Structure 1
Amino acid sequence: MPGPVLILIFLGALLAFMLAWWHYLPRSRRNSRLYRALALLRFLSIFGLILLLINPKFTRTSYDIEKALLTVLVDNSSSMVASDSAVTLREITSRLAQNKTLQDRFTVNTMAFGEEMRPLDSLSFSDQATNISRPLQSLKDVSIGSNTVTILLSDGNQTLGEDYEFISHKPEQRIFPIVAGDTTTYEDLRLDRVNMNNYAYLKNTFPIEIFTSYSGSGSRTSVLSVSMNGQTRFQQNVTFTKETPAIQVTAKLEAQNTGLQDVRVSLLSFDNERNTYNNSRQLSLEVIDEKTKIAIVSSLVHPDLGSLKTAIEQNEQREVTISSPRSLENTWEDADLLILYQPDRAFAQVYDVLKTEGISALTIVGPRTDWSFMNAVQNTFSMSTYGQAEEIFPDLNGSFSIFDTSDFDITDFPPLDFELGDITIAADYESVLDQKVKGVLIEEPMLAMVRGQERNEAILFGENSWKWRIQSYRNEGNFQTYDGLIAQVIRFLDLKKRANRLTLEYEKSYQGVNAAEIVARYFNETMAFDGNASLKLFIKKREETSSREFPMLLRNGYYGLSINDFPAGDYEFTVRVEGTDITRSGGFKILDFDVEKQLVSSNYKKMARLANASGGSVFYVDQVDQLIDDLSNRNEFLPVQKSNQNVVSLIDFRILLAAIAICLAAEWFLRKYNGLI
């Protein structure tokens, strides 16, 4: 406690003593026990008040030992089993985690990683992909202001995520890789990548882009072939040399039959080639004989039109044209779906076609919509405007049930331009988005899905939705949020059979590393989503007779099931609604592709570059003792003693106030009892 504070306390005590003495102990009362007691109580009261004013404090110092953080990252992918490193990695992980020298110097954590990083309880080596950059990035985010050491046990072959060699490192983050697997470089022919569209149209030519490479010091000639349903459709000789180790080939094939086609790309292996798994690649192609034709009709030239066209055509089964309602060609008359952008009186003929043909439509209205025409030409919805332009923000409707919106993130989405007014929708509808004006949610829809007897309709209130696509890219680095929403709207409009109460969504083929997901939606007799139904899925291989039964789980507006434990093959399934005779069937293929088998040699050179960039060193599985000695002898990882100083109040105000109150009350009681008041 500082000296001046002690002096103030002494002077305060002296002042309290003098006041109590002056008030109660003149010469005539000094021998009275009553007045001595009253003087003591008055002294304590005054001295307590003075202590409250002075508020004396002192500094408390505590000492802590801070150790550097040591994280052991263990590759849990299936490539560790393929390279016979599983047993070795388990032994090394146990040695590092239980080493007394490391525990005395570091705070040791063990983590496993494959596609994701997670705390290590046991190593199964079952992950179907290796993402090394994600755990390194996560550890970088927690290494702020403190030394961290990362021991990376892996073969260095990354099959998912950004290149870990080029992620940035903080000066205090050191990485020490331990290279697992076979470090011998073998001569190898490899299919690096095959690019092919998922869909092709009957009698059309489609391209297959093939990237091949060769690892070795000599030269090799191989045969590149492409087959469809077992029939060879393309063949070409390719010669690799030291100067040209990579060759790109584009094969153009004709789609001759409809349905799901098996496409196999293969590169003929040479004698005694160690890894032949990466010499072939299996894909699936769905050949269809028609597209869904969608026409965007607008009298205006606006960026919304291009944004909608680009988003819709992400699905190759859809073809979009942009035309004017005054166009002599009238391309919109042959369309399967229409998008009407800010209709005016020029759309009279378009609405005649809508009524006679029963075509579903998405109507986008905004400040330049002719509302007197719109209110007269159709009876689905109407609006009486106030003539006041306003910016309206979207608000996601959590109770929307027609399709899944759980992945639709509208964070920081800009407002659309619109006019305020009273909106009336005469038909049965659900709003995907509601309107929010100046932070206040108003009871008006922004994007509404309308169910009709003959056709479906959708209505978007506001222009400049192209800004949403830009914001989607800013939020996530891609356009999937916006494009996915538009795709769901188009799918809703494209429902041809309104009597079908059970709908299915699934892909026709899945890569082996991905889980096959089947989505089902069941509607009641009024075509509203039924979340109380019980759906069962029966699935089997095509050549088998018995099937496996799975209950489908209710999620956000749909029933779903992920099939993640099935081997490669052709499957067929049936979804049944319990208690009814409603069923739907389908089929899909899980392709035989294991990305972890593409490489057999460890990428020790890349691991060494990673270590050098972070200030660490690379080691091998037989150098674990050297690694422990290196970490134990580095001065930058010594435990640090840190002192923490806390300024603590000497007195507890609540106790002191209670004591003052007790002294004053006792003094008053004694004076009252003895007739001094």
Structure 2
Amino acid sequence: MQNETIIYMIMAGIAALLLALFQYIYKSKVKSNIKYVLLALRAISIFGILLLLINPKFESNTYYDEKPTLVVAVDNSQSVSYLEQNENVNEILETLESNAKLKERFEIKTYSFGKSVSDLDSLNYNERQSNISQALKQFGEVYANQTAPIVVVTDGNQTYGSDYSYISKSVKQPLYPIILGDSTIYSDLSIKQLNVNRYVYLKNKFPIEIIVNYNGNELINTELKIYSGNSVVFREALQFDASKTSEIISTALTANSVGVKTYRVELNPLNNEKNTVNNSKNFGVEVIDQKTNIALVYDRLHPDLGALKKAIESNEQRSVSILKPQDYLNQINDFQLVIVYNPNINFNSVLSEIYTQKLNSFIITGTTTNWNLLNSSQSYFKQTITNQTEDFQPLLNRNYNTFIIDNLSFENYPPLQSEFGKLEFLVPHDDILTKSVNGIDTGESMLSTFEVNNTKHALLNGEGIWRWRAQSFLDMESFNDFDNFMGKLVQYLSSNKKRNRINIDYKSFYNGNDDVIISAQYFNKNFEFDDAASLTIVIKNKENDNIREVPLLLSNGSYTVDLSGIDSGSYDFTIKHNSESISASGSFRVLEYNVEQQFLNADIDKLQSIANNSSGKAFFVSEYNNLIENLLNDNRYVTIQKSTKNIVPLIDWKYLLGLIALSLFSEWFIRKYNGLI
């Protein structure tokens, strides 16, 4: 409390006493001793009221001890059990959690990680991928303002995510890896990487690039073969030694028939090679008959053009040609979809052809759009012309039901520029995005789709979509979410298939470690999305005729099922409604591959590097007791006494208000009782 406040309180006490003396001693006609009681009550009332006006603040300090946190992160991936380290992990974890001195010194927090991080309930070593970088990043963020050394029990073999040796530099905590594995070097051949396009075209050759690694010192000979079924379609002899430890093999195969084609790459193993699982790898390609050609017609260069082309062509089934209006008219029959970007007077013939030939279209408007031309060239929508632009942010319509939208919320996406004024649709339409200003939904369309005369159309009322693709990368460190969204929109617009009551979204084949997720949307008879439907997927393995039935769960506006972990092979599936005779079918293939079984040793060098760079220390499995001693003797990890200062203004003290009310009431009652009023 400040000295100035104390002076004010003293003055308030003196003033209250003087006023009470003036009323009950100097001017009072009361002769009995009761006047002293009334004097005290009046002084208390006045002093309390003056205190409320001064409102002094009282401080209180609460002291407590804060122990450092010991973060124990355990690798729960399949590679741990494949390297036969699961028993060692269980022993290490039990020792760390039960050590009395560690528990006295640290607040121990245990986690497990595979592809993601979770609290440690139990270990089953069935995670199909390990993302050490994501685990370190999350621990670094959560414990950024604490003393929290991180013990990482792992083999150091990461199969997913960024390089953890780079991410570890941003973690401001000492790292203590416990290395699951030994330092013995075994001779080993492995297929390190295989690069091939997912889609190929009928009768075309498709390139294959294979990177083969050798770990050893002797001169060895082997042979690489590529199988299609039981037939060898490519073979090449290879030779390695201590100086030549890798080789890149490139070839090309011919796609002779439409559909999903699977291949297997194999290396002849060495004599007594310990790990032969990494000597083979399966891959697949989908052979398609033709490519979807899309025309992106423009008259003014803009970053949106490049962003749209990149996003659409991320799917190799699609090709985008950026053309001037006259160039498009010269080859109009070569395209299944036309994207009209910021149409002006030069687009007059283009818009006329779209309308008369009943072509599918995607119109994107912006700051230079000629709305007089656009309003007069079609009868689908009309824009009020103000010749003023405004920035509008997108708001996702969760009830959009024409196709499945997933993994995109648009909440943090930057605004687009568009014409200020009302946009009115003259035909039935569905809004994917609406405009919002300062978080308030205006109800006006930003991105909509509509169908007229057996043609499909979309309207994006705003330019600057390149910022959305950039924001997608900032949010997810990948363009995939935005590119998939644009891909689904383009797929819908470029197809003339009729609308179904059940729409399904899946891939034709999945690699062994991919998440096998199938999504579906169900619509009632009015083609309105039904979020109370009961859908089931029936999966049949073509090879052994095993049938499995799994319910679909509603999530983010669609019904999904996660089939990750099913055996490799070919599958037929049917998604059906449980009370109506409506269904949709498809087929997919899961390729055999387990990335967690590709490792023969722990990544010792990388784990020792992150320990040294973070002022920590790495330990082998047999040395984990030394870790406990190291942690207990490190002076950086001591209990810190902290205090919490609590400042309470007197006006919040309810008892003072009660005291003032009680003293005023008592004074009035005594005076009333004694006939002084």
* TM-score, normalised relative to structure 1: 0.90
5 Å-filtered alignment, 1:148-297, equals: 148-169=148-169, 173-297=173-297
What is the letter of the counterpart of residue 89 of structure 1? V
The corresponding residue for 1:610 is 610
5 Å-filtered alignment, 1:412-427, equals: 412-427=412-427
Distance 1:58 1:200, change over 3 A: closer
Q: State the number of aligned residues.
A: 677
5 Å-filtered alignment, 1:92-107, equals: 92-107=92-107
1:510: Cα distance to partner? 1.1
5 Å-filtered alignment, 1:617-632, equals: 617-632=617-632
Contact 2:397 2:431 in 1 (8 A): yes
The corresponding residue for 1:69 is 69
Distance 1:155 1:353, change over 3 A: same
- Tell me the C-alpha RMSD between the 2 structures: 3.3
Contact 2:156 2:602 in 1 (8 A): yes
CA distance in 2, matches of 1:590, 1:477: 27
Distance 1:21 1:447, change over 3 A: closer
The corresponding residue for 2:309 is 309
Q: Map Cα deviations across residues 193-227 of structure 1 (whole Å, 9 max, x no partner).
A: 10100111111111111111111122322212222
Query: Secondary structure in 2 aligned to 1:670?
Result: helix
Higher mean Cα deviation, 598-607 or 38-47?
A: 38-47
* Percent identity of equivalent pairs: 36
The corresponding residue for 1:121 is 121
The corresponding residue for 2:588 is 588
5 Å-filtered alignment, 1:535-574, equals: 535-574=535-574
Distance 1:361 1:82, change over 3 A: same
CA distance in 1, matches of 2:525, 2:617: 68
Contact 2:77 2:125 in 1 (8 A): yes
1:25: Cα distance to partner? 5.2
CA distance in 1, matches of 2:2, 2:195: 77
Query: Secondary structure in 2 aligned to 1:141?
Result: helix
Distance 1:232 1:160, change over 3 A: same
1:148: Cα distance to partner? 1.3
Q: Map Cα deviations across residues 305-334 of structure 1 (whole Å, 9 max, x no partner).
A: 333222211111112223334239722223
The corresponding residue for 1:503 is 503
* TM-score, normalised relative to structure 2: 0.90
What is the letter of the counterpart of residue 208 of structure 2? I
Query: Secondary structure in 2 aligned to 1:622?
Result: helix
Contact 1:341 1:365 in 2 (8 A): yes
Higher mean Cα deviation, 639-648 or 424-433?
A: 639-648
Distance 1:307 1:663, change over 3 A: closer
What is the letter of the counterpart of residue 201 of structure 1? Y
Query: Secondary structure in 1 aligned to 2:545?
Result: coil
5 Å-filtered alignment, 1:625-644, equals: 625-644=625-644
The corresponding residue for 2:382 is 382
Distance 1:496 1:619, change over 3 A: same
Higher mean Cα deviation, 21-30 or 160-169?
A: 21-30
Higher mean Cα deviation, 325-334 or 398-407?
A: 325-334
Contact 1:379 1:426 in 2 (8 A): yes
Query: Secondary structure in 2 aligned to 1:636?
Result: coil
CA distance in 1, matches of 2:423, 2:171: 59
CA distance in 2, matches of 1:141, 1:343: 47
CA distance in 2, matches of 1:525, 1:585: 19
1:395: Cα distance to partner? 2.7
Unpaired runs of 5+ residues, structure 2, are none
1:93: Cα distance to partner? 0.6
Query: Secondary structure in 1 aligned to 2:90?
Result: helix
CA distance in 2, matches of 1:463, 1:648: 53
CA distance in 2, matches of 1:12, 1:370: 75
Distance 1:382 1:94, change over 3 A: same
Contact 2:113 2:130 in 1 (8 A): yes
Contact 2:152 2:177 in 1 (8 A): yes
CA distance in 1, matches of 2:104, 2:209: 56
Contact 2:568 2:592 in 1 (8 A): yes
Query: Secondary structure in 2 aligned to 1:123?
Result: coil
CA distance in 2, matches of 1:65, 1:422: 62
CA distance in 2, matches of 1:531, 1:276: 49
Q: Map Cα deviations across residues 555-580 of structure 1 (whole Å, 9 max, x no partner).
A: 33433222124111111112233454
Distance 1:670 1:358, change over 3 A: closer
Contact 2:176 2:617 in 1 (8 A): yes
What is the letter of the counterpart of residue 590 of structure 2? I
5 Å-filtered alignment, 1:18-57, equals: 24=24, 32-45=32-45, 48=48
Q: Map Cα deviations across residues 517-547 of structure 1 (whole Å, 9 max, x no partner).
A: 2223344455444445443321111123342
Query: Secondary structure in 2 aligned to 1:433?
Result: strand
Unpaired runs of 5+ residues, structure 1, are none
Q: Map Cα deviations across residues 266-323 of structure 1 (whole Å, 9 max, x no partner).
A: 2221111111111111011111121112222344444433332222111111122233
CA distance in 1, matches of 2:605, 2:394: 51
CA distance in 2, matches of 1:116, 1:282: 26
1:416: Cα distance to partner? 3.4
Contact 1:45 1:663 in 2 (8 A): yes
Distance 1:386 1:193, change over 3 A: same
The corresponding residue for 1:430 is 430
Higher mean Cα deviation, 83-92 or 293-302?
A: 293-302
Pair 1:334-2:334 in alignment: yes
1:336: Cα distance to partner? 1.7
What is the letter of the counterpart of residue 176 of structure 1? Y
Q: Map Cα deviations across residues 153-182 of structure 1 (whole Å, 9 max, x no partner).
A: 111211122222222457962222212234
CA distance in 1, matches of 2:634, 2:526: 73
Query: Secondary structure in 2 aligned to 1:167?
Result: helix
Higher mean Cα deviation, 414-423 or 136-145?
A: 414-423
Distance 1:181 1:351, change over 3 A: same
Higher mean Cα deviation, 661-670 or 447-456?
A: 661-670
Distance 1:28 1:342, change over 3 A: closer
Contact 2:140 2:171 in 1 (8 A): no
Contact 1:574 1:584 in 2 (8 A): yes
Contact 1:296 1:323 in 2 (8 A): yes
Distance 1:43 1:306, change over 3 A: closer
The corresponding residue for 1:666 is 666
1:581: Cα distance to partner? 4.2
1:460: Cα distance to partner? 1.9
The corresponding residue for 1:140 is 140
Distance 1:405 1:505, change over 3 A: closer
1:483: Cα distance to partner? 2.1
